[in-house]
Amino acid sequence: MQAPLHLRLINYGACVLALAVLVGYARLLNPEVDDFLLYWQAALDLRRYGNPYVSSEIEFAYPPPFAYIVLPFSFLDHPTSQLVWFVFNSIALWGFVLLTLRVCAFRLACRYWGGVLLLVVLAPPTRSGLLIGQVGILIALLMVGSYWYSRQRPGVAGGVLALATAIKLYPGWLGVYHLLRQQYRIVASAVGVGVGLLVLPVLVHGVTPYVDFVREMFSGRLYPHTAEFNISVTGFFQRLLTVHRYGIAIAVQPMLANILIGGCSLALVVLCLVTRTSDTREPERLLGYSLWICVMLLLSPVNGYYNLVVVLLPVLAMLRWLEQHPNRRVLVWVGIATLLCCIQPGWTRLHPTLYTSLHTGWGLVLLTPALYGLLLYTGLLVYMNRQAVVGARQPQPEHPTPETSAPAH
């Protein structure tokens, strides 16, 4: 059924505004501040020397298969390839938003899908990821796509998850989610495709790229874990308790930092394992998947702020659940968590005193509000999953068939 005229005008008008914002972002692209430069140089080195890790000028912190994925960009000059990558990322963003709306089926968001798209384009994590050319948007699309296919086409779901893991390792965490739920076809497909993605480069250029990748990963040089944009348990405690160039630590206790990182990471893993989730119906099933995504972001030592674009999935999943189980207090906490996640790195530059205070000693605890937003999401999802399991044990009243949940065009 076609949407009313006023609704179509609102949605298409919001799309036009979103496109205008993207054009504005494109004009702000800076070749000097560009993570895509790492991908482009790695692809160029792969084409020239057969190894994406030979350059001493870049720090390519990605598995070798990703260098093969971006290899076509090496045939273009850097400014041109940067713009093409931006367009590709923008298309992936639109696909991610529209697919997430279909997966979550939150009726208000589906009704005003254009407004949701505009808000996501304007969101600070999205802006950051687009301007520096990060892969967070692409990985978000692949993770949502994997969930979309998990029921009807598990083989495709596993393959998509393997592709995401070949770009950055942390989506492999979701393989554990599927394994614990005995979704063996997804796991088998992910392993098979993953092995293929690993082996094919070896047939072309041997094992040297993998040896160099592992060596660089263990050297700790490839990623600035203590940087302000790192939104993870590892980044938090290393900022507080190790020497780094991004601030003055509370104390120099690297061993204590490692103990706290290990303890908190273990606690998060246990939290996922002991939190019972519903695997038979929506949106309860999606709440469980969303919990694992939030914990994945907290656990990943290389989780940059730009990766938070994927929290659109947990947010809409929670709102869908609240649509069916109204709770104003929980809704307020979802809003607070979202606001915290929208406070981007560098916010302390608003005032010199604020900057100095929050980069020194205990002020570092408050430096990354987005981390607390992610922790709040995790706690809320644990609560909702437990409520969903309790509710599933009770007889449910019959509900009228809801309106279609697909975005209205």
Report the alpha-carbon distance of residue 212 to residue 56 in Å, rounded: 12
Residue 404: pLDDT band with limits 50, 70, 90: very low
pLDDT for residue 71 is more than 80:
yes
pLDDT for residue 79 is more than 70:
yes
Residue 407: pLDDT band with limits 50, 70, 90: low
Q: Tell me what pLDDT residue 230 has.
A: 94
Average pLDDT over residues 97-107: 95
What percent of the chain lies above the pLDDT cut of 70? 93
Report the alpha-carbon distance of residue 197 to residue 64 in Å, rounded: 9
pLDDT for residue 401 is more than 50:
no
Q: Are 115 and 298 within 8 A, CB to CB?
A: no
> Which string of b and e fits 254-283 if b means at least 16 CB within 10 Å?
eeebeebbeebbeebeeebeebebbeeebb
**Residue written as token pair 């094919």:** 200
Residue 398: pLDDT band with limits 50, 70, 90: low
What percent of the chain lies above the pLDDT cut of 90? 78
| Mean pLDDT (the chain, rounded) | 91
Q: Helix or strand or coil: residue 248?
A: strand
Residue 54: pLDDT band with limits 50, 70, 90: confident
Amino acid in the structure at residue 336: I
> DSSP assignment of 303-364, as one string?
-BGGGGGGGHHHHHHHHHHHHHS--HHHHHHHHHHHHHHTS-TTGGGG-HHHHHHHTBGGGG
pLDDT: which is higher, 53 or 164: 164
Q: Tell me what pLDDT residue 56 has.
A: 64
Average pLDDT over residues 141-153: 95
Q: Tell me what pLDDT residue 402 has.
A: 44
pLDDT for residue 273 is more than 60:
yes
Q: Tell me what pLDDT residue 229 has.
A: 93
pLDDT for residue 88 is more than 90:
yes
Average pLDDT over residues 58-83: 92
Q: Tens of pLDDT along 218-240?
A: 766 667 889 999 999 999 999 99
Report the alpha-carbon distance of residue 258 to residue 123 in Å, rounded: 33
Residue 393: pLDDT band with limits 50, 70, 90: low
pLDDT for residue 287 is more than 60:
yes
Residue 212: pLDDT band with limits 50, 70, 90: confident
Cα–Cα distance list, 241 to 173, 246, 260 (Å): 27, 12, 10
Which of 12, 5, 11 lies closest to 108, judged by CA? 11
**Residue written as token pair 């480069």:** 201
Residue 3: pLDDT band with limits 50, 70, 90: confident
245 φ/ψ angles, rounded to the nearest 5 degrees: -95, 5
Cα dihedral 51, 57, 63, 67, rounded to 10, equals: -60
Sign of CA dihedral 59, 62, 67, 73: negative
Q: Helix or strand or coil: residue 368?
A: coil
